[in-house]
Amino acid sequence: MVTNAAFNFDKLSILLTSRTGGGREYHFYICSLSAKTIVYKGQFTCAQLGQFYLDLQNPAYLSHFALVHSRFATNTLPSWERAQPNRKTCHNGEINTLKGNVNWMRAREGALRSAVFEDKHLQMVFPVVESNLSDSGSFDCVLEFLVQGGRSLPEAMLMMIPEAWQNDDLMDPAKKAFYKYHSCLMEPWDGPAMFGFSDARYAGAVLDRNGM
């Protein structure tokens, strides 16, 4: 059960990760700061993960589910903030529309309002996308912002990676209306990609809208 205290902590955590993230004089990346989830990551092989994190060797350490992901850096140099998984997602593939997605997110920051964050706190979250991150990390920043702003994780994922709904005559009208409405709020993050995601309540996976 997620308590109000847990929600408030996670709401504060996005302020902290934003204030200490990219664009600051001394950049470092907070990979895990939540009352509901723990992210274990590193620049090593799968077999080394349990050897490095002693939590994972303790038989008393339990979780109702875990999301596990491994990948090799093929077009970027390894770094702590670029290692998978991210705070809410893990990702294989690439986002081909990244530059446009990030620019549109920055362009709308001046008009953003929130029922969860006061205006003075909302300003602390900007820029939503930390600098010097990979396409995976940039996607994760926006997803985290949407979820902490009050949207459910599945809703936020479908906002960012919608199905190819426009010409699908077989799609349920209510589902198509959902995609049409949210297309006015967020441009699709397109590219050959597979995302796994979790926030302790939900765990799921989604392909890009071309199903590649």
Q: Stretch 177-190: mean pLDDT, rounded?
A: 95
pLDDT score at 1:
41
Q: Stretch 178-192: mean pLDDT, rounded?
A: 93
User: Any idea where the domains of the chain sit in the sequence?
Assistant: 4-207
pLDDT score at 54:
93
What amino acid is encoded at 178 in this protein? F
Say if domain 4-207 classifies as CATH 1.20.120.790.
no
pLDDT score at 30:
81
Q: Find residue 193's DSSP bridge partners.
A: 93
Within 8 A by CB and 6+ apart from 207, the residues are 161, 193, 194
| pTM score of the predicted model | 0.86
pLDDT above 60 for 8: yes
pLDDT above 50 for 23: no
Q: 110 or 17, which is more confident?
A: 110
Do residues 98 and 150 lie in contact, with contact meaning Cβ atoms separated by under 8 Å?
no
pLDDT score at 2:
44
The pLDDT tens digits for 63-85 are 888 888 887 766 667 677 777 88
Phi-psi region at 207: left, alpha or beta (left = phi > 0; alpha = psi -120 to 50): beta
Phi-psi region at 132: left, alpha or beta (left = phi > 0; alpha = psi -120 to 50): left
Confidence band of 4 (pLDDT split at 50, 70, 90): low
pLDDT score at 74:
64
pLDDT above 80 for 112: yes
